[in-house]
């Protein structure tokens, strides 16, 4: 007999969800944390106090550093210090083939910063879409998983027969499987608009990675022109090959600022020192859904305005609106909190789905679980509790590693992966119910110790009260969850063992 449509969809949902669940759980958790990227970065550089620096002066300072350290670069980028990141970041390309290079300077002096070296919130942000792998490979894995997740979402909606009648239903008093199914349904349905939006727009942000062929075939060998024609970046002007003196940057920035109401975000100097050099003033996004930046382009030697970018063509506007919706830079604190909550619900939907797969296939009491089930149980443990353990260890490493350590930022990442790897190995070696309890308690303790360790190693008083409160809340939630797991399994097993009618039904 051919299975019905709904059964086929249930099968698709189960397996599409299982194979991408572990990757997408990590993507959801780190992406959710990224809503507070600036706050995390702030916390991870406790030496840094906000210092007000005139944007034009900051740009001059960054360019002065680059003139000494990267005189032959094809392009310089100086990002203006912001309230949430009071540092002067400079980037440069030595050539189009080499990767971008970066230095972090003190905004007040323009000298390399003495603040502890850390990737800050950018670490979790990069992990969110590249998994800290080679960028190409990581983006492909995340993009492909997201495509499958979209399939899992849609097939899940078809599978879920009682969306409206079970809308508010969470039955805790029935079987374990019923409880997990209800939790999966409730977290999935309540934030369904978010899940669909974030998965779809996430795929859109990776569209150029997943489907580069449209651009490569239309713009053979000149892919940069696509972004120029889409109105997203100014036309590239080739170097003239002879040196010339450029005008000071601060007055150019001031002139650009007079045209744009948003604050200055970055200055780009193309072909620095060349007669054909251009200077681009890039401003922050205007209020609106779309992620786009007004830009004013000057000729570096004469100061003449070459181009003004701001309005986009309809297709580019749709694209940047999707990007904006995904990143939610527009959200104020309250709406950001709701986005964060939705992200947590998304992570919970995936986690409960993964656990449900294992619970639904639990062997009869006394039987030995098969290899596949043990593997899934182990991976569930290693991912759902392993990743939080890694994140907590990452925060602790930020406070405990010596400030002057060599390659310090890399070591923080190494601690993250070491702690996670250790947890994953414990999970794979002991895929039992009580390991959930033990590892949950360990994760809770790690998160609860973050504010304590931070307070002992820094002297910022209550500056980080919000971050500390979040750590305590996460720790308490994990502790509560670990306790729930330990209390829930016991009575259920006891009931089943003592009540004859329950045995008869099983």
Partner 1 sequence: MTPSSVLLNLALSFAGLSALCLAMDRHHRAIFRVAPSRRQARALRGAGWCGIAASFAAAVILADWNFGPVQWLGSLTGAALLVVGLVSYRPRWIRPAALAALPLAAAAAFLA
Closer of 11 and 170 to partner 1 (Cβ): 170
Given a contact cutoff of 8 angstroms between Cβ atoms, the answer to whether 440 and 485 are in contact is yes
| Shortest spacing between CB 162 and partner 1, in angstroms | 11
| Shortest spacing between CB 468 and partner 1, in angstroms | 21
Q: Which residues pair with 78 in a beta bridge?
A: 90, 267
Closer of 289 and 400 to partner 1 (Cβ): 289
Closer of 57 and 492 to partner 1 (Cβ): 492
Closer of 142 and 198 to partner 1 (Cβ): 198
Task: Find the distance separating the first CA and the last CA of the chain, reported in whole Å.
Answer: 27
Closer of 31 and 120 to partner 1 (Cβ): 31
Closer of 131 and 470 to partner 1 (Cβ): 470
* CB-based burial, 224-237: b 16+ in 10 Å, e otherwise: eebbbebbbbbebb
User: How far apart are the C-alpha atoms of 470 and 124, rounded to whole Å?
Assistant: 16
Burial (0-12, 13-18, 19+ Cβ within 10 Å), 296: buried
| Shortest spacing between CB 346 and partner 1, in angstroms | 10
User: How far apart are the C-alpha atoms of 299 and 25, rounded to whole Å?
Assistant: 47
Given a contact cutoff of 8 angstroms between Cβ atoms, the answer to whether 384 and 423 are in contact is no
| Shortest spacing between CB 184 and partner 1, in angstroms | 13
Selection from 279, 280, 276, 281 nearest residue 238 by Cα: 276
Strand (E) or helix (H) holding 460: none
User: How far apart are the C-alpha atoms of 155 and 10, rounded to whole Å?
Assistant: 7
User: How far apart are the C-alpha atoms of 164 and 186, rounded to whole Å?
Assistant: 11
Closer of 11 and 167 to partner 1 (Cβ): 167
Closer of 309 and 345 to partner 1 (Cβ): 345
Give every CB contact of residue 39 below 8 A, 6+ residues apart in sequence.
84, 121, 466, 467
Scanning 239-300, the segments in alpha helix (DSSP H) are: 249-259
| Shortest spacing between CB 474 and partner 1, in angstroms | 17
| Shortest spacing between CB 347 and partner 1, in angstroms | 14
| Shortest spacing between CB 287 and partner 1, in angstroms | 8
Q: Is 299 helix (H, G, I), strand (E, B) or coil?
A: strand
Given a contact cutoff of 8 angstroms between Cβ atoms, the answer to whether 79 and 265 are in contact is yes
Closer of 342 and 478 to partner 1 (Cβ): 342
Strand order in the sheet with 101-106: 101-106, 87-93, 75-79, 264-270, 278-283, 295-299, 305-309
Given a contact cutoff of 8 angstroms between Cβ atoms, the answer to whether 264 and 55 are in contact is yes
| Shortest spacing between CB 349 and partner 1, in angstroms | 12
Closer of 162 and 434 to partner 1 (Cβ): 162
Closer of 99 and 333 to partner 1 (Cβ): 333
Closer of 286 and 303 to partner 1 (Cβ): 286
Count how many residues are written for the chain.
506
| Shortest spacing between CB 182 and partner 1, in angstroms | 9
| Shortest spacing between CB 171 and partner 1, in angstroms | 8
Kindly give the pairing relationship between strand 305-309 and strand 295-299. Answer: antiparallel
Closer of 263 and 288 to partner 1 (Cβ): 288
| Shortest spacing between CB 179 and partner 1, in angstroms | 10
Selection from 384, 332, 329, 350 nearest residue 125 by Cα: 329
| Shortest spacing between CB 492 and partner 1, in angstroms | 17
User: How far apart are the C-alpha atoms of 324 and 317, rounded to whole Å?
Assistant: 10
Torsion of CA 497, 499, 502, 506, to 10 degrees: 30
User: How far apart are the C-alpha atoms of 65 and 85, rounded to whole Å?
Assistant: 19
| Shortest spacing between CB 262 and partner 1, in angstroms | 16
User: How far apart are the C-alpha atoms of 406 and 434, rounded to whole Å?
Assistant: 40
Which residues of this protein are in contact with partner 1, per CB under 8 A? Answer: 165, 167-172, 186, 190-191, 193-194, 288-289, 325, 330-335, 338-339, 341-342, 345
């Amino acid at each position: 007999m051919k299975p019905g449509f709904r059964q086929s969809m249930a099968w698709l949902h189960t397996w599409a969800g299982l194979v991408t669940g572990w990757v997408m759980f990590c993507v959801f958790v780190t992406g959710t944390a990224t809503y507070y990227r600036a706050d995390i970065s702030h916390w991870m550089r406790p030496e840094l106090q906000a210092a007000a620096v005139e944007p034009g002066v900051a740009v001059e300072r960054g360019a002065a550093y680059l003139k000494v350290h990267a005189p032959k670069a094809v392009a310089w980028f100086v990002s203006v210090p912001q309230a949430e990141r009071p540092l002067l970041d400079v980037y440069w390309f030595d050539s189009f083939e080499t990767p971008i290079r970066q230095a972090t300077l003190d905004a007040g002096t323009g000298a390399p910063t003495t603040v502890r070296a850390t990737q800050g919130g950018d670490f979790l942000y990069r992990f969110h879409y590249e998994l800290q792998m080679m960028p190409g490979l990581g983006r492909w894995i995340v993009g492909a998983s997201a495509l499958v997740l979209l399939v899992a979402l849609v097939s899940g909606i078809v599978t879920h027969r009682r969306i409206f009648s079970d809308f508010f239903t969470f039955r805790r008093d029935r079987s374990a499987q019923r409880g997990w199914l209800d939790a999966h349904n409730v977290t999935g349905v309540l934030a369904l608009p978010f899940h669909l939006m974030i998965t779809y727009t996430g795929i859109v942000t990776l569209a150029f990675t997943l489907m580069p062929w449209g651009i490569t075939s239309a713009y053979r060998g000149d892919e940069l022109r696509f972004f120029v024609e889409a109105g997203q970046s100014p036309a590239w002007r080739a170097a003239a090959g002879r040196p010339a003196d450029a005008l000071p940057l601060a007055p150019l920035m001031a002139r650009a600022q007079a045209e744009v109401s948003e604050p200055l975000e970055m200055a780009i100097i193309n072909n620095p020192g060349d007669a054909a050099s251009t200077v681009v003033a890039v401003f922050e996004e205007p209020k609106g859904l779309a992620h786009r930046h007004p830009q004013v382009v000057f000729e570096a030697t004469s100061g003449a305005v070459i181009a003004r970018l701001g309005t986009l063509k309809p297709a580019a506007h749709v694209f940047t609106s999707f990007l904006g919706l995904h990143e939610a830079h527009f959200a104020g604190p309250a709406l950001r909190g709701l986005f964060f909550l939705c992200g947590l619900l998304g992570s919970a939907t995936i986690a409960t789905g993964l656990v449900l797969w294992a619970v639904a296939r639990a062997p009869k009491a006394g039987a030995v679980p098969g290899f596949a089930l043990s593997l899934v149980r182990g991976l569930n443990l290693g991912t759902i509790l392993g990743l939080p353990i890694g994140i907590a260890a990452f925060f602790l490493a930020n406070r405990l590693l010596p400030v002057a350590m060599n390659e310090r930022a890399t070591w923080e990442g190494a601690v993250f992966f070491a702690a996670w790897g250790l947890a994953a190995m414990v999970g794979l070696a002991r895929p039992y119910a009580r390991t959930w309890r033990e590892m949950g308690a360990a994760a809770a303790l790690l998160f609860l110790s973050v504010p304590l360790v931070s307070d002992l190693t820094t002297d910022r008083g209550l500056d980080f009260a919000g971050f500390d409160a979040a750590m305590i809340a996460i720790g308490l939630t994990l502790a509560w969850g670990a306790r729930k797991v330990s209390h829930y399994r016991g009575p259920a097993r006891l009931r089943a063992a003592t009540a004859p009618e329950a045995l008869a039904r099983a």
